[in-house]
Amino acid sequence: MVNCHILLVSFPGQGHINPSLQFAKRLLQIGAKVTFSTSLSAISRMSEAASTIPGLTLAPFSDGYDNGWTGAKDFQDFMSSFRTCGSEAVKHLLLAKEKEGHSFTHVVYSTLVTWAGEVAYQLQIPSTLLWNQPATVFYAYYLYFNKNEIFTGENSEGIELPGLPLVLSSCDLPSFMQSSSPVIYNFALPTFKEHFEILERAGTKQKVLVNTFDALEFETLRAFNKYDLMGIGPLIPSAFLDGKDPLDTSYGGDLIQKTVDYIDWLNSKDELSVIYISFGSFSNLSKQQMEEIAKGLIKSQKPFLWVIRDGKSGTEGEEDNTLSLMKEVEKQGMIVPWCSQLEVLSHHSVGCFLTHCGWNSCIESLASGVPVVAFPQWTDQFTNAKLIQDFWKTGLKLAAHVDGGIVTADEIARCLEIVMRGGERGDEMRKQAQQWKILAKEAVKEGGSRLHLEFQKIDQVVGSNQSFST
């Protein structure tokens, strides 16, 4: 155990950094040495909490855009630079440690960081993928690349993933599989395909670590046996899950710092009365859509806490966030530029989460027992929303108006009414959400998700006994 030194390489996005850091904490707890590596731009913005995680070493690298990817021509340009610069930096780090006599024994890399697996392969260092989307989405991508006939022809409007009691429509697929996916994301499918090529080349049945837990995706974990999909979640700070470490109150890698005190405001509200709204750290809604959300919230007549990021992220086509109904909005709710999402979701006043369905937000809502109104935007979020509504039954998916894809205020108010006002359907969703909260806690007990077995050997967790042949 003392000689086990893991290099954990993460994509510099919040949805990748959070589960990666939480996984690093778990590895440290069972005796491994861990070095966490991601872009310098992200490390420089992260909270000081990351640098105080006991035993964790940080190893930032330049991705060519040290002030953030928004300086790139487009996202494809950034991804190209991220790959080139990151590959060189990680290779240099691995070789330098070997020269020092303190070699890394394993590389763990997050979704989209395929090149880290490639570098590890070249240097004959065992590596493992840390998948930060549902196992069901991983399965869907595998089938898309290996059994594409499932997604074409007559099946396009009724897609069945073998072994799963779930029928998807084409609009339930990850956005990169959809014909409407913007050209600027043309890098995505080749990148996901590369994940499977790296796994295939390893030559043995590879472990893939997934931020999920057995009860949540039992059917998928059982149906897909090409690789050893290993549920190691929920990767959530202990204070909001099992409570074994009450000091573990944050992931430690927030890229935006809390600047507004919202807890007193939440404390002043009745139990289950508040609607929480957040679209994550990346999604940007049109001005028209923001106005419809504001109108829908006002129609709900419920207090709400709405995260609207300050300033512009630099995304092409992004519009000003100022609302025409700002006075009405501020009278009924509270707008903040950022918050501790788990702190909010675990608060007794919060009764509903209007979310883009990023996987971190989904699993945090499940672990907190909060029902959702699903408003997916891109990538895996459409599949996540489908799972929430029809499989886990903890929420409703908003229906977009056919003209322009805008979700109207009436539709938003309708769904919020169902979830927040109770009634048979709303009560059932809340009951299901509470049941998933119980199961999430059970997953981290001894005998739950395999990572959490306190006395498990490290090679059973990350497969560090594997070897690669060139």
Q: Indicate which residues carry an active-site annotation.
A: 16
Instruction: Give the C-alpha distances (Å, rounded to integers) separating 403 from 154, 406, 447.
Output: 26, 7, 50
Rounded Cα gap, residues 231 and 132, in angstroms: 11
CA dihedral 465→220→9→189, nearest 10 degrees, is 120
Nearest to 394 by CA among 356, 449, 437: 437
Q: Which pair of tokens denotes residue 458? A: 């490290």
Instruction: Give the C-alpha distances (Å, rounded to integers) separating 4 from 30, 31, 38, 385.
Output: 11, 8, 20, 38
- Number of residues that this document lists for the chain: 470
**34 and 28 in contact (C-beta within 8 Å)?**
yes
Pairing of the two strands 228-231 and 304-307: unpaired
Spell out the residues 6+ positions from residue 344 whose beta carbon is closer than 8 angstroms to its own: 262, 266, 276, 305, 350
**Chain centre to alpha carbon of residue 254:** 13
In DSSP terms, 207 is beta-bridged to 228
